[in-house]
Amino acid sequence: MEFKVNGESIFESISEAARIAGGSHSAAGKLVMIEAHSGGLSVSSGNGDRSVIFEHPLINCRYSGLDILEYGKLAADGRMLSEVIRKIPGRLSIKASTSHKILINSMDKQISAAIAGFPLDQFPDRAHVEFPYIYPLEASDLAAGLRNTAASAAKTSSRPILEGINLAFDENGLTFTATDSSRLAMWKADGSAGFSQSFTLPARNAAELLKLIGKSPSGEAAIYISDSQAVFATSTFRFCSSLLTGRFPSSEKLKPEGCKTELVINRKHLLQGVKRTMIFAGEKRSSLVSIQAKDENSIIISSPVSEMGMIEEVQELQSIRGETEASAVINGSYLADALIGTESEYIKIRLYGTMKPILISSPGEANYFHLISPVRTASGMFLGKGQVQNQD
């Protein structure tokens, strides 16, 4: 096979494909395959857990300078190939010889390189899979669903099904859900699937998918679903992931009732305050933060009293409804993750009483929420209202 192309137009695809394949320990898992065909150029890679295909259509050849001289395929070490292409600027001629050598020549400078290729039979076989369910959606909705829930998936668990994001399809659209048993995040994309189906995407693969969408967040996307795989497709790539096995826990009845206090506060200001309290957690991951209503116009955010010290600050509320003596102690890292996931200017916090979860959502939007379990604390761990100034 042989083709000519502007190196910068395919460098990123090869580099990303190599990175995605890098999770495998086998030599074959680190390979990148390039196929020249009548429609253009395809760059693919993968391992037993995930795979990706990037498309470079001939219709975009004005930018890429793509000119296919001979159809065919080549397989190469993705990192080596991407580095060589990155270091040789301008337009390139790339040719695969019958001796598994890949010849790369600059068409602008006197630079030539030859790198080792691999037999195509060493490239992992992509068995044909039927996908009986297809769900179209905006790429921005797919990104939002993953971004708002990914942090709530369990990092490790005795129940592996919790180490992923559950995607459930029904007549109301698509619902993303993740939980590690201490917190839960849910985000909904409106629409109608026309079928009832669900699967759980490994969080590690959701993170890779989110990186890919971030490079082209607009436009249409589609999800193709089978019993063992899901494919996420956009105009520039197709990402295939294995699925976690097992039954994802039902979350329909987890949303509490009987809200006692509802606070609305500036999201960025609250996030900054939470991060300040986390300074006093030291190396502890489970940094605690106390949220306590001060009066009808403000709340107090504080860290526990420790040998390292403590911090307390007052923040203004946009509004408060219900009891004005409400308070809660929760994991500050969990709260920060919930605040980072959304882009709303204001955030709504609902308190349901002692040792009950708090619910975080966006005012005026019903498409997502976070639930965070409270933390039981020892007496004296937190000071009372405004007591930090009275310490000797």
Does residue 112 sit in the same domain as residue 188?
A: no
102-123: average pLDDT: 91
Does residue 83 sit in the same domain as residue 140?
A: no
193-213: average pLDDT: 94
CA distances from 331 to 72, 294, 357, 358 (A): 55, 20, 11, 11
330-342: average pLDDT: 91
For residue 89, tell me if it sits in a domain.
yes
Does residue 118 sit in the same domain as residue 141?
A: no
Q: For 114-171, how does the pLDDT look when each residue is reduced to its tens digit (9 = 90+)? A: 999 998 887 766 657 789 999 999 999 999 999 999 999 999 888 999 999 999 999 9
Ordered DSSP codes for 131-162: --EEEEEEHHHHHHHHHHHGGGS-SS-SSGGG
**Any idea which residue has 């506060």 for tokens?**
265
**What confidence score (pLDDT) does residue 227 get?**
92
**What confidence score (pLDDT) does residue 215 get?**
72
**Is-above-0.85 flag for pTM?**
yes
The count of domains in the chain is: 3
Q: Kindly report the CATH number assigned to the domain that includes residue 308.
A: 3.10.150.10
For residue 252, tell me if it sits in a domain.
no
Those residues whose C-beta lies under 8 Å from the C-beta of residue 102, and which sit 6 or more positions away, are 74, 76, 81, 94, 95, 96, 114, 115, 116, 117
Q: Which domain covers residue 102, as residue numbers?
A: 2-122
**Local confidence band at 341 (pLDDT 50, 70, 90 cut-offs):** confident
Does residue 107 sit in the same domain as residue 193?
A: no
Does residue 144 sit in the same domain as residue 201?
A: yes
**What confidence score (pLDDT) does residue 353 get?**
84
Residue 255 clears pLDDT 90, i.e. is over it: no
- 357 versus 61: which is more confidently predicted? 357
**Local confidence band at 354 (pLDDT 50, 70, 90 cut-offs):** confident
